[in-house]
Amino acid sequence: MTAPVPSADGATPSAATCRHTTLRAYLPVAIAAAVLAAVPLALGGSGYLMSLATTALVFAAYAIGMNVIFGSSGQLFLCLGALAGVAGFTSVLLADDQGWPLALSVTTGVVLATAIGALFSWVAVRRNLGVIFVGIVTLAFSLVFTNLVQGLRTLTGGETGRVVDAGGAALRGPISSYYLFLGVVVGFLALYRWLEGSRTGWAWRALKDDPVAAELAGVDVARARILAGTIGAAMVGLIGALFAHHEAFISPTSYAFAHVDVRVLIVIAFGGIGSLLGPVVGAVMLGVIDEVLRPLGQLRLAVYGALLLALFLGFRRGVVPAVADVVTTWRRARTPSDAPAAGRGTRASKH
């Protein structure tokens, strides 16, 4: 926990003020959790609709991890599906083939995915790679991972995939699995908010604004970037491992670039890069779009590609922040300014 920051006059905020500020900071997370917790009641327990809602939570969790990696430190990881797949396949192989406890197998998969994410960030820092080069390197890893999974047929089932036995009622039930993934998403949001208010969040903001100025100001740029890659990869790995046991079936398609990374980029483009609740809003929008485009079959990928280009070219900060800016500008335009009146009153008093 960071120490209270003194104000301009040197006074330190009181404990009550700090508690009030903390409550306000986590209020959006609490509201989002309450709204999402009521979704099963609104859907009436429909198995199909609950499946769509759970998938939306999975992609919201992926997007939060991407927000930590890309939104905080500017590292374009185009291997989210591969990181999730490393954790997912590792957990399944250990749980089903080696008889490991589910918790231990999931933890091992997450640790491996976290180590790979930290390694990519370390390489990017050591080689001073820019955004484009980081994207190229991680995309190459994503393609290598897909080919590796397809080649190891005896372990992974190849292109046809394999059935996952390890799971349980909490991961397989439509209602219980929804609340399980909801708990993960809320935990990720709370962690993201806490990181924003910590010294690490301050370092990320400085790094995002100007890396050179941040380094001159004393920010350990290498540590900040590696930490972002490590935390984000851990988030992606955890949700990827849980998703494998939830689905009870995994294949290379489950973690393919087109299935995971492209969709996560669309979620980020809708919700806004670096925003707290943007991943949740973007995941809901993605779920609606995905269901509307379902009749198109494989042509959905072409539509997603075009949509992704349009979003990033037309809305640099994201659709939700752009709409919020328009609403704010409109409200300011409709609010009468008191400045002219105040100026006239001042002149009148002088006379």
Q: How many CB atoms lie within 10 A of CB 39?
A: 18
DSSP 119-137: HHHHHHHHTT--HHHHHHH
Which residue type, as a one-letter code, is found at position 13? P
Q: What is the pLDDT of residue 12?
A: 53
Q: Are strands 162-163 and 249-250 parallel, antiparallel or unpaired?
A: antiparallel
Q: What angle do CA 55, 58, 59 make, to 5 degrees?
A: 95
Q: Sign of torsion, CA 307 68 65 79?
A: positive
Query: Which residue's entry shows tokens 């590796």?
Result: 148
Which residue type, as a one-letter code, is found at position 105? S
Question: Cα(78)–Cα(117) distance, rounded to whole angstroms?
Answer: 11
Quote the pTM value.
Answer: 0.88
Q: What is the pLDDT of residue 154?
A: 92
Q: Give bridge partners of residue 250 from the DSSP assignment.
A: 162
Q: Which of the residues in the chain have pLDDT under 50?
A: 1-3, 5-11, 339, 341-342, 345-351
Which residue type, as a one-letter code, is found at position 172? R
- Taking the CA atoms of residue 90, residue 91, residue 93 and residue 99 in that order, the dihedral angle to the nearest 10 degrees is 140
* DSSP SS3 for 250: strand
Closest CA to 76 of 342, 230, 244, 265: 265
Which residue type, as a one-letter code, is found at position 136? I
Question: Cα(219)–Cα(229) distance, rounded to whole angstroms?
Answer: 17
- Taking the CA atoms of residue 324, residue 327, residue 330 and residue 336 in that order, the dihedral angle to the nearest 10 degrees is -90
Question: Cα(300)–Cα(314) distance, rounded to whole angstroms?
Answer: 20
Q: What is the pLDDT of residue 46?
A: 84
* DSSP SS3 for 162: strand
Structure tokens at 196: 């924003």
Q: Sign of torsion, CA 201 207 210 215?
A: positive
Which tens digit of pLDDT belongs to each residue from 23-67?
788 999 999 999 999 999 998 878 899 999 999 999 999 999 999
Q: What is the pLDDT of residue 24?
A: 85
Structure tokens at 179: 């609340």
Q: Sign of torsion, CA 66 72 78 80?
A: negative
**Burial of 226 by CB count in 10 Å (0-12 exposed, 13-18 middle, 19+ buried)?**
buried
Q: What is the pLDDT of residue 3?
A: 45
DSSP 30-64: HHHHHHHHTHHHHHTT-HHHHHHHHHHHHHHHHHH
Give every CB contact of residue 44 below 8 A, 6+ residues apart in sequence. Answer: none
Beta strands in the chain (DSSP E): 162-163, 249-250
